[in-house]
Every structure is written in structure tokens, then in C-alpha cells.
Amino acid sequence: MAARAAANARRRYAARRGIGVLSSVVALIVVVLLTQRFHSAEKTVRADTDTPVAPTRGYTIISDQELLDSFAPLLILPDESGGRRIVLVDR
């Protein structure tokens, strides 16, 4: 009776271990297939080389002179009360 119980326990252990290995293999296959599917979709999307592409960033790069020209000349003068007063200088 003990030998039969031990054999039954070994069979259950082997079945549980086989199910674990099988589920790991299936999960690995699913990950590989999904990875290939998404990578192949990214590779097939290409822009035409003949048409110009608009910049996708939300800013433009300007020169230093253009940046300085965009600022208005300001003077910060001391006030009689000890504070500061900002004065816009005409060009």
C-alpha cells in the first residue's frame, strides 16, 4: 500500500512538473510571436523618400542673433522706496 501511494505521489509530481514546463514553453512562444509581430509591423512602415517630411518637434531652432532680437531691451532701475522698477527702452 505504501509503495502504491509513493508511486501515485511520484506520478502527481511528474504531472505537476510537466504542466509547469509546458506552460513556460507556451508563454515563451507567445512572447516570441508577439515580439516578432510588432517588430515586423514597425519595419514595414516607411516614409516615401520623394516627399518632404515636416518637422515633428514643437519648436524651431533659431540663431543667437534671432534670439537676442526677440528680447526687448529692459532696464531695472532702483526706486525711491528701495524697490526696483523695470523700464522698457525704445529702440
Domain boundaries, the chain: 2-45+64-88
Task: Report pLDDT for 47.
Answer: 59
d(Cα 5, Cα 55) in Å, to the nearest integer? 73
pLDDT digits (tens, 9 = 90+) for 38-91: 776 555 556 566 666 666 777 888 898 888 888 878 888 899 898 998 888 876
Q: Is the dihedral of CA 49, 50, 56, 62 positive or negative?
A: positive
| Mean pLDDT value of segment 21-33 | 92
- Report pTM: 0.38
Q: Which amino acid type is present at position 76?
A: I
